[in-house]
Amino acid sequence: MNGYNFAYLDEQTKRMIRRALLKAVAIPGYQVPFGGREMPMPYGWGTGGVQLTASILGADDILKVIDQGADDTTNAVSIRHFFQRVAGVETTTATTAADVIQTRHRIPETPLRSGQILVFQVPIPEPLRFIEPSEQETRLMHALEEYGVMHVKLYEDIARYGHIATTYAYPVKVDGRYVMDPSPIPKFDNPKLDGNPALMLFGAGREKRLYAIPPHTRVESLDFEDHPFEIQRWEHSCALCGSDRSYLDEVITDDKGGRMFVCSDTDYCQTRRGEVA
């Protein structure tokens, strides 16, 4: 495509972002500032993730983009098309076939492998922001490991609901050091962060922060001794593929209260159906 550098961003910008990524990988869970660029899409549409993807994408890479686990939602489709046009890379919906997976809200059900890179779109990178509005102060809190307030939030959940009611963006401690917001993935996906063989990168476009979890890094979800971390469970299995171990979306099927539960990960679901069928 004429008029654009490969993958839209100029090489200087990519180098700057890659340097920031190297730092992020070197300090797992630490938020690295970067000079975010204007992208041809509004904030909230994944500008952080797109810039990271653009910076790491090679001409031979195969790209997969998911939104809420699905490859066919508006956001996923438009980002996939974007990179098809500005980088001419091959795209896929198959988790196993992808080299780079950009995601919003989910980690694929199919286990990732070494060499794959998962790029998260992050709206609010700062896990302490809910309690502390000052950026200067939160950076200091990270530097000094003042993380008592994170448990205040969980305490408050239990006091109010009888259990830890936080179901997404559930805070984790990375490599025993930095408390990190894993972006708005459901806590169902938190265990997948731990010791994952893939590299996981997180980009926040509006806040111009990126962070990383290198492969095989210890990632613990915060909890209490008497209220240990638990993932969501469903009484149903997927209505389409029958899986009883995947994250399910509730889908309204008509105006009469009809509904069903299906896998949020469309590739996983379709692959299983192919196998089953």
Partner 1 sequence: MKKPRLTRPVLLDVQDITRLYGPAKGCEAIDFRLHAGEVLGIVGESGSGKSTLLRVLAGLEAPDAGRVIYRRAVHEPEAARADFHEPEAARAGAGEDVLDKGELERDEAELDLYAVGEARRRALLRLEWGLVHQNPRDGLRMGVSAGANIGERLMAQGQRHYGQLRATGQAWMRQVELDPGRIDDAPRTFSGGMQQRLQIARTLVTRPRLVFMDEPTGGLDVSVQARLLDMLRTLVRSLGLSVVLVTHDLAVARLLAHRLMVMRRGQVVETGLTDQILDDPQHEYTQLLVSSVLTP
> In the complex, what is the shortest distance from the CB of residue 195 to partner 1, in angstroms, rounded to a whole number?
22
Residues 217-236 interacting with partner 1 (rule: CB under 8 A): 223-227
16 near partner 1, rule: CB under 8 A: no
Query: Which part of the chain contacts partner 1 (CB under 8 A), choosing from 78-86, 141-149, 209-217, 252-260?
Result: 141-149
> Contact, 208 vs 34, CB < 8 A?
yes
> In the complex, what is the shortest distance from the CB of residue 206 to partner 1, in angstroms, rounded to a whole number?
24
C-alpha 273: how far from chain center = 25
Q: Exposure of 239 by Cβ count < 10 A (0-12 exposed, 13-18 middle, 19+ buried)? A: middle
Site mask for partner 1 (CB under 8 A), range 100-139, x = bound: -------------------------------x--------
158 near partner 1, rule: CB under 8 A: yes
Mind telling me the catalytic residues? 29, 238, 241, 263, 269
> Contact, 85 vs 1, CB < 8 A?
yes
Q: Is beta strand 209-213 parallel, antiparallel or unpaired with respect to 199-204?
A: antiparallel
- Report the residue from 11, 72, 156, 250 that binds partner 1 according to the rule CB under 8 A: 156
168 near partner 1, rule: CB under 8 A: no
> Contact, 105 vs 67, CB < 8 A?
yes
Taking the CA atoms of the chain, what radius of gyration do you get in angstroms?
19
* Beta carbon nearer to partner 1, 18 or 177: 177
> Contact, 8 vs 86, CB < 8 A?
yes
104 forms beta bridges with 67
Which positions touch partner 1 (CB under 8 A)? Answer: 131, 140, 143-144, 146-149, 151-153, 155-156, 158-160, 223-227
